[in-house]
Homo-oligomer: A and B are copies of this chain.
């Protein structure tokens, strides 16, 4: 990239920007700017931004990018700032461009089965909005109650449903995007099918604010999902649970949820709330099947799970057709994040959450690799959960926040986990994204031609390099 960004220390008159924006959209109060300068990731640089724009309209986004483009000022697109990779963190001298206030559901179309929303709509709010229509938007990241659709699109968010219902990108029909120079375009398809030109909407999904700012999203919906039945399998070891996942998926199963929780994580959940999980077990699998609306087929699928789990060493498998049991178990799964936070608070520890995804046939190998890494870092607890049906593990490495050595070891273990995933044919990030945290690792995952391709596309769309510099593409 030949263009040079405005130095962070250079003077810049923001008055013309303020004049072009909705009144009071531009905020320069250092405390407010600082309060908007981070997402939920640890170990990611946080710089001092010049200003925060709370965009209220598409025109606000366009005006901000026109101004930034003219002056070569870095821009950090932001939504709810619930990301786990530092993608929304400030860099020195940047303008934070926050679209959280653009949070209207603009349209629900029951014929086309689509919803058109502004980027600031919170995922769970959209789900609730759709209920009276008998329609559903499946993607359900762990952050479903706090993360926004714009951020979900920027990171191609996943969740518990992916094993059957896919990820955010699978539901993006079209986007309105403001490009680096402030121009507005619509990409994607207006209809159920369409092949007029390149599929550019899918390029923006998961591009983490490096190619443009998403200002409107049209999502494909599905009819309301049938209620599932739930089973729980308890295992003496994580590896036995991992083997079960591989065998169950190989059997042709189509669970609507297949989650893995290891022993240490179960302990944290039980300490956090009254979920009745079986303490002292090595690992558990939480399985749901909705049989595509047939309770008989759901039941048969869970029976198949039970058989396969026992063949692979499960000590106990129970299932229930009482929806309240299901809700409690899913609530336990959803409690992992706050339970870990509570554990860290209680024990004065920090946590580094990984996000490696491996081929389903390598589940047990990855589980063994995690055990080996744990053994090499005896002073850093590593506790794991996984969206197991996708091979997507979230090993969590804990460290003593007051100890530099513990910090360093945690980061080393974090890297070894990614290296183990790559060695098994996996990826460094299944759903959390690259952001600031994993930029060096992205360079290890992509082949040389792919790295060049990423940079060629970035330069073509953002020749001045103003969009979220220093993040995803930093090390390519």
Q: Which residues of B contact A438 (CB under 8 A)?
A: 196
Inter-subunit contact B191/A447 (CB<8 Å): no
Binary interface profile of A, 436-476, with partner B (CB < 8 Å = 1, else 0)? Answer: 00100010011111101110110111000000000010000
Pull 19 A–B residue pairs with CB atoms less than 8 Å apart, ordered by A.
A110-B252, A112-B361, A163-B192, A169-B199, A187-B453, A191-B390, A191-B425, A191-B430, A192-B392, A193-B431, A194-B427, A196-B429, A196-B434, A197-B446, A198-B457, A200-B453, A202-B202, A202-B203, A460-B460
Q: Which residues of B contact A457 (CB under 8 A)?
A: 198, 200, 457, 460-461
Inter-subunit contact A361/B109 (CB<8 Å): yes
Q: Which of A10-18, A66-74, A290-298, A369-377 contacts B (4 or more CB under 8 A)?
A: A290-298
Residue of chain B at shortest CB distance from A358: B191
Inter-subunit contact B250/A111 (CB<8 Å): yes
Contacts A190-B425, A191-B357 supplied; 13 other A-B pairs, CB < 8 Å: A111-B250, A185-B450, A191-B425, A192-B390, A195-B430, A195-B431, A195-B434, A196-B434, A197-B445, A199-B202, A202-B202, A294-B297, A453-B461
Report how far A448 CA is from B184 CA in the complex, Å: 9
Greatest chain B CB density within 10 A among A112, A195, A199, A223 is at A195
User: How often does this chain occur in the complex, in copies?
Assistant: 2
Q: Which residues of B contact A392 (CB under 8 A)?
A: 191-193
Binary interface profile of A, 145-167, with partner B (CB < 8 Å = 1, else 0)? Answer: 00000000001101000110001
Within 8 A of B (CB), among A380-419: 387, 389-392
Greatest chain B CB density within 10 A among A197, A357, A430, A431 is at A197
Greatest chain B CB density within 10 A among A179, A185, A297 is at A185
Report how far A452 CA is from B461 CA in the complex, Å: 10
* Size bracket, chain A contacts: 35 or more
Inter-subunit contact A390/B170 (CB<8 Å): no
Q: Indicate if A239 sits at the interface (CB-CB under 8 A).
A: no
Which residue of the partner chain, among B185, B195, B292, B456, contacts A155 with CB atoms under 8 Å?
Answer: B195
Chain A interface (Cβ within 8 Å of chain B)?
109-113, 134, 155-156, 158, 162-163, 167, 169-170, 179, 183-187, 189-200, 202-203, 205-207, 211, 223, 246, 249-250, 252, 254, 291-294, 297, 357-361, 387, 389-392, 425-434, 438, 442, 445-450, 452-454, 456-457, 459-461, 472
Q: A134-B252, A459-B460 are in contact. Are A195 and B156 (CB under 8 A)?
A: yes
Inter-subunit contact B359/A190 (CB<8 Å): yes
- A116–chain B nearest beta-carbon distance, Å: 12
Inter-subunit contact B206/A199 (CB<8 Å): yes
- A88–chain B nearest beta-carbon distance, Å: 15
Q: Which residues of B contact A294 (CB under 8 A)?
A: 292-294, 297
Report how far A448 CA is from B183 CA in the complex, Å: 9
Inter-subunit contact A187/B450 (CB<8 Å): yes
Residue of chain B at shortest CB distance from A187: B450
Q: A196-B428, A294-B292 are in contact. Are A449 and B184 (CB under 8 A)?
A: yes
Report how far A223 CA is from B164 CA in the complex, Å: 12
Inter-subunit contact A193/B390 (CB<8 Å): yes
Inter-subunit contact B450/A186 (CB<8 Å): yes
Residue of chain B at shortest CB distance from A290: B292
- A426–chain B nearest beta-carbon distance, Å: 6
- A462–chain B nearest beta-carbon distance, Å: 10
Residue of chain B at shortest CB distance from A433: B195
Report how far A110 CA is from B247 CA in the complex, Å: 10
Report how far A426 CA is from B112 CA in the complex, Å: 12
Residue of chain B at shortest CB distance from A427: B194
